[in-house]
Chain A
Amino acid sequence: MNTPEDLRYAKSHEWVRQDGGGVVTVGITDHAQDQLGDVVFVELPEVGRHVKAGDTVAVIESVKTASDIYAPVSGEITAVNASLDAKPETVNESPYGDGWLFRISGGNDAELDGLLDAAAYVRSLDED
């Protein structure tokens, strides 16, 4: 299982990359995509929506499950990965790359600090 060191993680299996300028990119972890199985549809939020950390902002569907995706930080949705509409399997193939989900602008440092680093995230998986 792949858990890049340069990302922050939520216990609910989202990863966060700091893009600079107060913008973060969010996706789901390799572990999460593996647990879900073949992704068949991704329901993404509207650009411009203001979200609070912990809000349900997206849903990822496999054949027999629907999993909620939570905002890891607060802020405004500034972009979503529209290519997932046509190719939802990208979430399986490239969870940390082309399979990203959405970007949030405005997250505060305290929220970012509250997220896990790679080692802590991997430890949290053992607790499940």
Chain B
Amino acid sequence: MADFPVIYERSRPGRRGAQPPQPRQFDLEAALGGENLRKQPPRLPEVSELDLVRHYTQLAHRQFSIDANFYPLGSCTMKYNPKVNEEAARLFQDIHPYQAPETAQGALQLMYELQDDLAAITGMDAFSLQPAAGAHGELAGVLMIRAFHESRGEGDQRRVVIVPDSAHGTNPATAAMAGYEVREVPTDASGEVDLAAFEAAMGADVAAVMLTNPNTLGLFERKIRKLADIAHAAGALLYYDGANLNAILGRVRPGDMGFDVVHLNLHKTFTTPHGGGGPGTGPVGVKAKLRDFLPVPIIAKRGDEYVIDEDRPRSIGRLRSHFGNFGNLVRAYTYIRALGREGLREVSGHAVLNANYLRVKLKEIGFRVPFDRVNMHEFVAQPPEGMRTLDIAKALLDFGMHPMTVYFPLTVKEAMMIEPTETESLETLDAYVDALQQVLERAAEDPNYLANAPYETPVRRLDEVKAARQPVLRHRFEERGAPGS
């Protein structure tokens, strides 16, 4: 079968799609200066509108998605994204960030209320909606912690950020980006932070501890208040990575557990779509002692008017342009208002129920669970002895089901991290277990089955070594002539 064409291979000189308003007669060279003009046009697709529709519709069919497939990626929270969120976002999509603020009061009110809603949900005192993603929220949070220590004259002394060895890769990467050294602490036999190692790692050189709770093994850190006390006694601040907030929504709040800074992933807990890799959104919240350091701008209220407050001299500054990924703020606000406080609490209840159900079911068919206790919204399993996680993941694809997160956390060999989310039915979970059981059975019958799976997907296993050794990172046109000349 022929390769599926890239859009550039469908191009024919002179073919046209959409038609913008036709420009009037105008001397571009006189206006812009001949020396500033482009000499060779960029080679862009020339296709009809129907060609374009066919191309991107067929491409969409070469793609798994929540709307079509069960997608239980641990830590990623692939739950249903309500359609009403999309309708709500469209109501606001044409607002310009520089239009007079009095003509954007509805948008500003929404942001102001969302700041308050997120503070109420997390037990924090103030929020900034600016960060564009979870990792960006982490950067905001760690920079605020840095500014806090600097304001107390301890900036030079506190050089270290502590992260558990099971942490997301963004935690150490963020700490480094904010100019800190990283000190890792190990996990104990129960799957939680090792208390003795934590105490030994703590000291007057520590600026912050970054924790995910429940942690990346899907287990609640039961000693969290003790950890917070130890950190605070040493003058360090406690950072909450909100990747797993969906597990404890409405049950306990990071602010009450002793965290000083949190970031949230609106694309996980609050149902904004993942978009095939982004945009995410990572608002960051703080306790009152850090309020002054929040990134600018903040949406404030003066009398009856909502205003954009940029005049905050102790702020860490600006982290991106404008106010944040506003479109996603509308979606998250819509979700929070639809569910309300009781509805949000049921999210965590059903997420944890589904995850525990799946854990028990998988154990029944021979999967191993290294930390076998009641888990939260996700759990980490291992394949039956002698089998590779990668192979099982690939085999699942033929069943129209997406694999779990594989080989994370790094601390568990052959890790399979599974998060079914609250929006999936027991029938779907049973079907997943059934698919996994079939994979095991076929593997027992045919020793080559697993190594060659998948069989039915648009393409089969890829040569990733070739992709990395001889990178081809753009389409090569057949005719010559460099675009930059």
Query: A residues within 8 A CB of B468?
Result: 40-41, 61, 63
Judge whether B54 is part of the interface by a CB distance below 8 angstroms.
Answer: no
Query: A residues within 8 A CB of B469?
Result: 38, 40-41, 88-89
Overall SS of chain B's interface: helix
Chain B residues within 8 Å of chain A by Cβ, number: 5
* Nearest B residue (CB) for A40: B468
Judge whether B465 is part of the interface by a CB distance below 8 angstroms.
Answer: yes
> How far apart sit A38 and B468, CA to CA, in the bound complex (Å)?
10
Judge whether B35 is part of the interface by a CB distance below 8 angstroms.
Answer: no
Query: B residues within 8 A CB of A40?
Result: 465, 468-469
> How far apart sit A40 and B469, CA to CA, in the bound complex (Å)?
5
CB distance from B405 to the nearest CB of A (A): 14
A50-85 contacts to B, CB under 8 A, are 61, 63-64
CB distance from A114 to the nearest CB of B (A): 26
Query: A residues within 8 A CB of B465?
Result: 38, 40, 63
> How far apart sit A40 and B464, CA to CA, in the bound complex (Å)?
10
Contact with A along B363-393 (1 / 0, CB 8 A): 0000000000000000000000000000000
> How far apart sit A97 and B469, CA to CA, in the bound complex (Å)?
21
CB distance from B112 to the nearest CB of A (A): 44
B180-203 contacts to A, CB under 8 A, are none
* Nearest A residue (CB) for B465: A38
CB distance from A30 to the nearest CB of B (A): 19
Query: A residues within 8 A CB of B407?
Result: 64
> How far apart sit A61 and B465, CA to CA, in the bound complex (Å)?
11
* Nearest B residue (CB) for A87: B469
B438-475 contacts to A, CB under 8 A, are 464-465, 468-469
Query: B residues within 8 A CB of A88?
Result: 469
> How far apart sit A40 and B407, CA to CA, in the bound complex (Å)?
20
* Nearest B residue (CB) for A38: B465
> How far apart sit A40 and B465, CA to CA, in the bound complex (Å)?
7
CB distance from B94 to the nearest CB of A (A): 43
Query: B residues within 8 A CB of A41?
Result: 468-469
> How far apart sit A105 and B468, CA to CA, in the bound complex (Å)?
33
* Nearest B residue (CB) for A89: B469
* Nearest B residue (CB) for A61: B468
CB distance from B64 to the nearest CB of A (A): 21
B393-422 contacts to A, CB under 8 A, are 407
CB distance from B29 to the nearest CB of A (A): 44
> How far apart sit A63 and B464, CA to CA, in the bound complex (Å)?
7
* Nearest A residue (CB) for B407: A64
> How far apart sit A26 and B305, CA to CA, in the bound complex (Å)?
68
* Nearest A residue (CB) for B464: A63
Query: B residues within 8 A CB of A38?
Result: 465, 469
CB distance from B465 to the nearest CB of A (A): 4
> How far apart sit A63 and B468, CA to CA, in the bound complex (Å)?
7
CB distance from A22 to the nearest CB of B (A): 34
> How far apart sit A63 and B466, CA to CA, in the bound complex (Å)?
10
CB distance from B334 to the nearest CB of A (A): 38
> How far apart sit A61 and B464, CA to CA, in the bound complex (Å)?
13
* Nearest B residue (CB) for A37: B465
> How far apart sit A96 and B240, CA to CA, in the bound complex (Å)?
47
CB distance from B407 to the nearest CB of A (A): 8
> How far apart sit A63 and B471, CA to CA, in the bound complex (Å)?
12
Closest 7 CB pairs of A and B: A40-B468, A38-B465, A63-B464, A40-B469, A63-B468, A63-B465, A40-B465
Given contacts A41-B469, A89-B469, 12 further A-B contacts (CB under 8 A): A38-B465, A38-B469, A40-B465, A40-B468, A40-B469, A41-B468, A61-B468, A63-B464, A63-B465, A63-B468, A64-B407, A88-B469
Can you list 6 pairs linking A and B with CB atoms under 8 Å apart?
A40-B465, A40-B468, A41-B468, A41-B469, A63-B468, A89-B469
